[in-house]
Every structure is written in structure tokens, then in C-alpha cells.
Structure 1
Amino acid sequence: MSLAQRRILLGVSGGIAAYKSCELVRRLRDLGAHVRVVMTENATHFVTPTTFQALSGEPVRVSLWDESAEAAMGHIELARWAERVLIAPASADLMARLAHGHASDLLTTVCLATAAPVYVAPAMNQQMWAHAAVQANLATLRSRGVRILGPAAGDQACGDVGSGRMLEPHELREAMVASFGDQVLQGKKVVVSAGPTYEDIDPVRFIGNRSSGRMGFAVAQAAAYAGAQVTLVAGPVGLATPAGVAKRVDVRSAAQMHAAVVEATDGADIYIGAAAVGDYRPSAMATHKLKKQAGADLTLQLAENPDILASLSAGRDHPFLVGFAAETQNVESYARDKLQRKGLDMIAANQVGDGMGFETADNAITLYWADGSAELPRADKSVIARQLIERIASRYKAVRG
């Protein structure tokens, strides 16, 4: 990764997450970026301008009425200098002022005056994040091309738990790196399914699989970084929504995932089925916990789950379809059979078991399509995901134009 000579204007608004922005400056500079910091007045109550000046090696601007800077139209110079504007943290107040076109301080004025892409990393209490006004402002910003990074879910400084945490500095740095890459899916609507599905036996037990969802989440993030508007349909996993993903739908069962994917792919350009969807479910779920019978076996009657990929390929004007095949043996033959049988455009096949695929940080994939294939050697899943998206975009262009 490199940000050598890239010019990033970091906006810091008022919130406790401002302390993370200090590390963010350091991480951006570690990759060679030039970083200038603009703070709101409220931000200075959490971190001093002197701290950011020491970390960035550049003067820090706070006031729109800085006579020495504004004598040379400093806010316009900053707006023209920036190749990217990243606001981290972005408070609810800052987002509201951006959404309504205010220019009441230096940071909002620069955002109005710049032609550079603007990235916003929200950070606020979970109840504030869920408020209808904040969500409406979020939708307005997205409609104007502002890129939203996060937020993540988890423990908050106020003691609450939920969505609203600012993404970690390394995640925001990766977003900046990706933003300077080729936007190979710019303007495309992409749906990604990820994670396992659970099929309930009774209120306590279920049938599931070992998928962690990491590969699918990495693919969703890579697609977002490539410029796509991404909807992520996620099975039961404990993973934060990847940066840049426009919408997340959480499901549990295969039937729920099928319904969510069908709805999300209406009008979509590409569907990437990275989820490990259960093939079968109990024919009937017991209403009470099944009790163990000493010396007796338990027999479960299973029914077949809906086939998401096959049902999509059977429809008219379906999206470009990319399947996944996790196999323990005969990987190529099973993958090519699935490619043809389900009417897919591409399939990503990988060996699982013996430390490969599930519950690991890395992966190796072979891509197959009707008249070709490509190897993606073993690497971190985020690296594999970026390579996969590049291949999908190339094939999509060749097939769909």
C-alpha cells in the first residue's frame, strides 16, 4: 500500500473519537501522504491543534477568520490543495450542516469549495445514529456523492453498545488507499451475500456451518472501494459493516437470505454469492426444546432449502452472477459443474479444511468461467477480495459491456 505524495485534508469535528484521528494522521503519513488538518472549534475541546501540528508537520487551521491565512483566501487554497477530504470523526452536527449546505465554519466552507471527493466517518452515540434526522442527512449526503465510511458497532465511550463507533485508523487508511485505485465498478449496484445460515431445530439448537463471513465481508468492502453501491446480505456473524457499504441486511436462515437477496438484486448489476448457505433445514422446528432420551437416537427429517443462485439465473434480466464453491476434494470438477448447472457467469472455488478457507485470515481461490480460469494465490482475504473484484469487473465488462 502507498499514499506517496497524495494530499489528504483531514477534517476533525467535536467528539471523543477525535483522539483516534491523531493515530490516523500518523498512519497516513507512514504511507507517504501529505496531511493537513482542519478542526472545528468543538474539536479543540478534545484534542489540541498543537498535537495535530506535531503529527502532521503542517499548520493546523481552526478558524475561518484567521487573518494571516485568509488574506490569501486560505479556505480556497485548502480546497484546491486537497485530493481527498476525510472527515473523521464526523459528528451528527457536522453531518447536518454538510447536508444542508452550511458554510458556518472553516471545515464546512472547505467542503463546499472543494472539487475533491469527500469522505465522512461518522462517530456518535448509537441512539443519535439511529435518529431519523441523522439517517435523513446521511441519505442526502450519499445522494450528493459523499462517501460514508462506517460507522462500526461496539462499546461506546458513553457506556452504550451499538452502531456509531468511528472506524479504526487502519480501516480509514485502507479506504484512502483504495480511493486512489481504479474505480472499476463506479456506478454499479452490487449485492454480496456473506456468512453462514442457521436452521433452527428447536428454540435452543440449530444446524449451521463454520463460515466466519470474513471472505464475503472483504469482498463487499473491496466492491465499495471500487466505486460500487453495495448491499451486503449477512448471515449470523459478529463482524462490523465494512467501510463504504451502503446497506446491510442481517438474516439467519437460508429462506431469509433467499428473500433478502431476491429483493436486493432487483435492478442490481452484479450479485456475488459468497455466503455458505445451508442446503437443508429441519422439515419442522420443534416449539419446545427436544429432550434427550436415554439410549435413543434422534432422527431429523430435512427439507431442501431454496437455491439462491439457481433461482436468480432462472429469472429474466438477472444480474451478472458470481458463485462460490467451497470444496474438500475435486475442486475444479465440482466448481465447473456448479458453474454450468446453475447458469453462472463466474465461480470462485477454494479448498477448505486442513487450515484452508474457513476460520482463517487468508485464502486461495481459483476463478472459473465458461472459457477460462485464473488463479488467485494464497494471501490475506482482503488482498484476495481486491483481486477478485478486479477480475469480476473485467469479466463483467467483457460480457455486459
Structure 2
Amino acid sequence: MSDVSSLNGKKIVIGVTGSIAAYKAADLIRRLKDYGAEVRVMMTTGAAEFITPLTLQTLSGHPVAMTLLDADEESAMGHIALARWADWILIAPATADCLSRLVSGRADDILAAVCLATEAPIAVAPAMNNKMWSNPATQTNLASLKQRGVSVIGPASGDQACGEQGEGRLLEPLEIVYELDRLMVPGLLSGKQVVITAGPTYEPIDPVRFIGNRSSGKMGFAIAQAAKEAGAKVTIIAGPVQLATPTAVRRINVETTEEMALAVEDSLEACDIFISCAAVSDYRAIQVQQEKIKKTSEQSIQIELEPTIDIVSTVTNRHNKPSFVVGFAAETHNLTEYAKSKLARKKLDMIAANLVGENQGFAVDDNALHIIWTDGEQTLPLMPKTQLARELMTLIIKRFYAKNSIKNS
């Protein structure tokens, strides 16, 4: 048996929906229990057409939650109790209809209500016909769920029950178990505090206009989700972005660089890891106009700029600075050269560098990073930002403990 130690003692709620692949839930429950997980099951009425609740009750050792309005359970608000009990919620198989309902925030059956009420991370293992999987509606729903921090496991490609071939098969139970284990990054940051900046900052020119950039904040929010999955207490300081806050992450909204700097200062007490992912404006107007500047065709205007505060350098120059500081470098060329210079100049422990422009870096769902630290470097290839964040967090955790074990030896 392979080592899947992060599952030991974890409380996992399995959600089973109405797919022919529902029969695989029985094997999934057995394998999760083999690795020490506590498992409880909730089913949709459609799922019960493919596999009986009694089968899953026997395997899990607990009654299967089937009905939202169960008189016995609702006296204790059963769906809330289940939502609070879970360390993780894993929906396998997750049908196209299930994905759509999660996006809509439905709460009219037990599975949807538990997902809406929980603060636990959620993973879905899709299973559906390949045409349903590739349909733009399904892909849009998946993108929305990923943006909210839901992890997607699979699907696989191959023969399907409908007789067709293609992507959309439920991963085999053991593969799902391994993927869930990987997502957990088993509590390596438990008891640690992580502060992350994300998104752009806006520097006003007048009441209407500002100096800003194209940062969407997606990478920073994905890192916050990954740090939370690793067990950390996470604070994210976000510029003006329209993104859902990851579950159980503290969020501070700011607009200007000065506001972000103040929020960082207030959040650094007991901070172990500081990750400066925000694309902070480098300059601001020396004089902000109190009224809108009127456009005239006869003349140009000049706006005098001054540098904004260098947040990450302020952090690294603190007497009681965090144990590990990570910076980001977004460049259009000479990526490695500029990143190494910034690493040294700003006294960083690690820097994550990426190219921007030409559909790279900003406002896209996929990205690649070149990670550099004092005595090493590693390239993370193009992948979804949610996955990239987990890979980056794995590196940060490794280097954080390597640095601090040397310091404490």
C-alpha cells in the first residue's frame, strides 16, 4: 500500500450524484477508509437509482444522508452538522448537472445544501459523456468553480457507458484517492501564518482616472487557497479585484499602494511567510486633482509622478521580519536576469518570475513560473493557476523548512 498519510484521521464527506459511475463510490469509500479516513456519504435521488444507500451505509459505517428535510436529522440541523463535520467534501461522481447546481448556489437537496453551508474545501471528480464535458456551458461552470477554490480531480479519457470514447470518464477510485492526498499537502503549514498580497493597486489621478495595471489577482487568490489547504492561517490583502474569497481566508480590501502597505504592516505580527504577489503600482501622481480633468483638443497635459512605497523591501528590512519572504517578478524580457537581480536587491528568500504580455501572466487562467532562490531554481511549466499555486506552495514549504532548520540547528 502506498503512503497516503495525509488522509489518516481526515473527515471526508463523499457526495454521490446520478451517474452510471456511481458504483465506483463503493470502492472509493473502501480505499479512503483503508488509508485511515473517516467517511460519511450523501447521495442525490438520482444516485440511488444506480447504487443503493444501504451498500454505501454498510461500507462507510454511517447512515447515508439522502433527504434535506429529514425530521430526525433536521432537529439537529443535519445538513449543517454534516457541513461542519467535514475536513473535505469530495463529490464523486460529479455530473454536469451537479456542477451547474454548485455554480448557481442551489440548496434544495442535501448535497447542494451541505456544499453551500460548509467551510471545508470541496473537490469534484466529474463523470459525464464527452460531449457534455466539452460543452462550453460545462467548461464555464468548471472555470467558475475553480475560481471559487473548488478543486477538480480528473476526468479521464477512454471508453464511456454510452459507447463513445473521449474525455469525461470518472478517474479510478485509487487515482482519486492519490489526487485528494496531493491536494491536502498534509498540514505542513499547520500553526503557521501566511500573509499574501494580490491584484493591482490603483493610484488616483483625479476622481475618475487612475494609474493601474492588468493584474486580475487570480494567482494570489490561488496561492491563498493552496496555503489554506496546507493548514496555514491565511490573510490576503487584495487590490481592486472581483474574486471570491477562498474559504476560511481573512481578506482585507485596499485600493492604493499606501493602503496596501499599511494593511501589510498591520498583518505582519506573528507572520511566518509573506508572499508579495500583488502587481503594485510603481508610481503615483504627486498632485491628485480634486475635480475631473477636462479633455481639451488644443493642449496636452503633464502629470508629474513619484515612486510609491516599496512594500516588499519594507518587509525584508524589518527587524522582526517574517521567517520567509517571497516576491514576484513580472517581466516582458530578460526574465531570469531581472528576477535574480530583484532577489538579491530586495533580500528575498525566493522569487517567482513570469513573463507578461501577449496573453501571458495577467488576466489569464494558465501561467508558468520560473522560481529562483539563493542556491537553486526550478521552472514550473504552463498549467492552470490553481494547480500552479499548489506546486509553488510545495516549493515554498520545502524552502521555508530548509531555511529554518539551518537557522535553528
Same fold per TM (> 0.5)?
yes
Structure-2 separation of matches of 1:171 and 1:29: 25
- Partner residue of 1:308? 311
- Partner residue of 1:135? none
- Partner residue of 1:15? none
Q: 1:184 aligned to 180, 188, 211, which one?
A: 188
After superposition, the Cα gap between the structure-2 partners of 1:354 and 1:31, relative to the gap in structure 1 and judged at 3 Å, is: farther
Moved more, 201-210 or 287-296: 287-296
Q: How far is 1:362 from its partner?
A: 1.1
8 Å CA contact retained: 1:197, 1:278 = yes
Q: How far is 1:25 from its partner?
A: 12
Secondary structure (helix, strand or coil) at the match of 1:230 reads strand
Moved more, 318-327 or 376-385: 376-385
Q: 1:280 aligned to 273, 283, 286, which one?
A: 283
- Partner residue of 1:349? 353
After superposition, the Cα gap between the structure-2 partners of 1:393 and 1:57, relative to the gap in structure 1 and judged at 3 Å, is: farther
- Partner residue of 2:270? 267
- Indicate the RMSD between aligned Cα atoms, in angstroms: 4.4
Alpha-carbon deviations, 1:283-317, whole Å to 9, x = none? 12111101113221110011211111110111112
Secondary structure (helix, strand or coil) at the match of 1:376 reads strand
Note if 1:54 corresponds to 2:49. yes
Note if 1:117 corresponds to 2:114. no
Q: How far is 1:184 from its partner?
A: 2.6
After superposition, the Cα gap between the structure-2 partners of 1:180 and 1:364, relative to the gap in structure 1 and judged at 3 Å, is: closer
Structure-2 separation of matches of 1:273 and 1:28: 45
8 Å CA contact retained: 1:22, 1:55 = no
Letter in 1 for 2:62: L
Q: 2:325 aligned to 308, 314, 321, which one?
A: 321
8 Å CA contact retained: 2:22, 2:47 = no
Structure-1 separation of matches of 2:386 and 2:357: 20
Structure-2 separation of matches of 1:32 and 1:301: 67
Q: 1:104 aligned to 76, 90, 103, which one?
A: 76
Letter in 1 for 2:366: D
Q: How far is 1:271 from its partner?
A: 0.6
Structure-2 separation of matches of 1:56 and 1:224: 34
8 Å CA contact retained: 2:87, 2:121 = no
Moved more, 387-396 or 244-253: 244-253
Structure-2 separation of matches of 1:214 and 1:180: 20
Unaligned runs of 5+ in 2: 30-38, 91-101, 106-116, 123-143, 154-178
Q: How far is 1:357 from its partner?
A: 1.0
Note if 1:239 corresponds to 2:243. yes
Q: After superposition, where does 1:2-401 map in structure 2 within 5 Å?
A: 8-10=12-14, 22=17, 33-34=28-29, 36-38=40-42, 50-54=45-49, 57-59=52-54, 77-78=61-62, 104=76, 117=87, 148-149=120-121, 168=145, 171-174=149-152, 177=180, 180-242=184-246, 244-319=247-322, 320-401=324-405
Alpha-carbon deviations, 1:214-247, whole Å to 9, x = none? 11111111111111111111111111112x3420
- Partner residue of 1:66? none
Structure-2 separation of matches of 1:247 and 1:28: 39
After superposition, the Cα gap between the structure-2 partners of 1:56 and 1:351, relative to the gap in structure 1 and judged at 3 Å, is: farther
Secondary structure (helix, strand or coil) at the match of 2:76 reads coil
Alpha-carbon deviations, 1:165-206, whole Å to 9, x = none? xx9499545599365443332221111111111111111111
Structure-1 separation of matches of 2:23 and 2:394: 24
Structure-1 separation of matches of 2:364 and 2:380: 16
8 Å CA contact retained: 2:12, 2:89 = no
Structure-2 separation of matches of 1:28 and 1:225: 29
8 Å CA contact retained: 2:23, 2:50 = no
After superposition, the Cα gap between the structure-2 partners of 1:292 and 1:147, relative to the gap in structure 1 and judged at 3 Å, is: closer
Secondary structure (helix, strand or coil) at the match of 1:395 reads helix
After superposition, the Cα gap between the structure-2 partners of 1:38 and 1:362, relative to the gap in structure 1 and judged at 3 Å, is: closer
Unaligned runs of 5+ in 1: 12-20, 40-48, 62-68, 92-101, 127-140, 151-166
Q: How far is 1:50 from its partner?
A: 3.2
Letter in 2 for 1:233: I
TM-score normalised to structure 2 length? 0.65
After superposition, the Cα gap between the structure-2 partners of 1:206 and 1:173, relative to the gap in structure 1 and judged at 3 Å, is: closer
8 Å CA contact retained: 1:196, 1:275 = yes
Q: How far is 1:108 from its partner?
A: 7.2
Alpha-carbon deviations, 1:107-140, whole Å to 9, x = none? 677799x8x73669xx9xx9xxxxxxxxxxxxxx
